[in-house]
Amino acid sequence: MITIRRAGDLDAREMADLLDAIIRKGGTTAHTDPVSRSTLLDWMQRDPQRSAWHVAEDEAGKILGFQFLEPHPELPSDACDIATFVRLGQTGLGVGSKLFEASKRAARDLGYSWINATIRADNEGGLAYYQSRGFENYARHAGIALGNGQLVDRIGKRYDLT
């Protein structure tokens, strides 16, 4: 059974470990540098009044994934950005679906009218995930440099909450 709840400070270590494994594997996230507990705590405090963080846990309390939404300086004030990370080996089990249901409710409660997802064009799993949630392509950004210098295209997808 998967339980969704708000993420808290005590989750930051396990969330950082989960994301680090994804970063080390490569190919799906724009993040290229390792993250720490303090990095996640900093992210969680960027704009706590306009953000929402959720974790998905199994019966034993192990975090299977996390998702957050927050404002982004390149988006209008009625839009938020979303990011989703699911533990390696746990994709396709409904973790992302359950996280997105919680994030949709939170986005509406925070007054957003749409959600932006920016995904690497070579991240087939991420593109399929957001497409299956009802996100529609609206932008393509070519040749974006990642932190390690790698150039990737990124696709902007939009989900209207209204």
H/E run at residue 67: strand 63-70
Separation of alpha carbons 49 and 38, rounded Å? 19
Separation of alpha carbons 107 and 62, rounded Å? 25
Q: Where do the structural domains in the chain lie, given as residue ranges?
A: 3-160
pTM: predicted TM-score of the whole model, two decimal places: 0.92
The 79-86 sheet, strands edge to edge: 3-6, 52-57, 63-70, 79-86, 114-120, 151-160, 136-145
Residue 6 amino acid letter: R
CATH class of 3-160: alpha beta
pLDDT tens digit sequence for 68-94:
999 999 999 999 999 999 998 777 778
pLDDT tens digit sequence for 90-128:
777 789 999 999 999 999 999 999 999 999 998 888 999
* Phi and psi torsions of 67, nearest 5°: -145, 140
